[in-house]
Each structure stands twice: as structure tokens, then as C-alpha cells.
Amino acid sequence: MAGFLAPTINSIFIKSYVNKMRKNSKNSTGKKEKEGCLLQKGQIHRKGEITLNQIINEIKKNPEIYKSGGLACFIGIVRGIDEKGDKVTKLAFETYEEKANEALQTICNELIDRDGIIDIHIHHIIDELDVSEDIVYVVVAGGHRFDLWPTLRDAVERFKDEAPIWKKEFTISGSQWIH
């Protein structure tokens, strides 16, 4: 009898697992349907889809995390003043999402090959964002702090140069596309 029930129980478990993974995957528009999906190392998100804690928790699941002595984070936020001194009211981001995801993942995959680097994630939010709202999270896990800082800096500079992400700045004087 036990031998007869085992395949049934296993198939129920497998169907349940597959359905759970489908619910946690992205839908046809690329938006996450439910929290809890596995994060890719570099990814575009809409406001409210990702938090710094989710990224840190994902990095801590890395089987090599025991080699890490620290995490370094860069959190880009919307600045409330532009280069001319005008008050900024919001930023709006646009992207070629497929290419941006590819660029962010490529940056992560290349930088993770550096000595002492355990993991790296770059997650950029694309939406209209108000002053002080988070725009981007870059998180690096490394063996020592001297491994972390140059890699964190390079990740930030590279995503700004390589990912097709554009921002429109809205000020009290009007709006303009900026780099």
C-alpha cells in the first residue's frame, strides 16, 4: 500500500511545486505576479516590487556566502535639487527592459569574477519616483572590505553607462531628459 501511495503523494507535491513556481514567475508583461520569486542578479523592477532586504536575503542564500566578510550597498535615491539649484519634484524612468536586464546581468556576471567577490546584484526601479524614493540598489558581497568598495563603485559607474535606462527630471521650472 505504501508503495502505491508514494507516486501519488510525489505527483501531488510536484504539481504543487510547479504551480507555486508558475505563480512566482513573471507574467507576459514582465511584471512579477507575487513576491518570493528568485531574483536575477541584475533586473529592472516597478515601484514596490523589490526591497533592499529582499536582495540582501537573496545574496545570503548564496552557498558561497560563508566566504564573505561583508556586504556593501549603494542605494540611489531621487535628489530634490538639480544642478542649477532648482527644486526637483520627481523623476520618471524609461527603459528598453530586455536590453537593460541583459546589461545589468552582464555587469554582475563580469564583476563577480573578481578576486574576493562572492555575489553582486543590481536592481533598478523604473517608474515615476518622488524625491527621496529609492531608484537603484547595488549590493556586493565580498571576502574583505577592500574587495567590496572598488567593485561597488565600478558596478554603479557601469550600469549608468551601459544599461539603456533614461530619466526625465521634473522641476518647478519644467522637465528635461538627463543622463
Q: Flag whether pLDDT at 33 surpasses 60.
A: no
Tell me, what's the pLDDT at 131?
Answer: 98
Tell me, what's the pLDDT at 179?
Answer: 73
Q: How many CA atoms lie within 13 A of 152 on its CB side?
A: 20
Query: Taking residues 16-21, what's their average pLDDT?
Result: 40
Indicate the burial class of 41 (C-beta count within 10 angstroms; 0-12, 13-18, 19 or more).
buried
Which CATH number is correct for 38-178, 3.90.1170.40, 3.40.50.300, 3.30.420.40, 3.50.50.60? 3.90.1170.40
What's the one-letter identity of residue 149?
W
Question: Which tops the pLDDT comparison, 34 or 102?
Answer: 102
Give the residue extent of every domain in the chain: 38-178
- Rounded to 5 degrees, what are φ and ψ at 156? -65, -50
Model confidence at 39, in pLDDT bands (50, 70, 90)?
Answer: confident
Taking CA atoms, 18 is separated from 5, 12, 21, 22, 27, in Å, by: 20, 10, 5, 6, 15
Over the stretch 51-91, which tens digit does the pLDDT of each residue have? Answer: 999 999 999 999 999 999 999 999 999 999 999 999 999 99
* pLDDT, mean over the chain: 84
Model confidence at 27, in pLDDT bands (50, 70, 90)?
Answer: very low
Q: Flag whether pLDDT at 12 surpasses 90.
A: no
Question: Which tops the pLDDT comparison, 18 or 126?
Answer: 126
Tell me, what's the pLDDT at 153?
Answer: 98
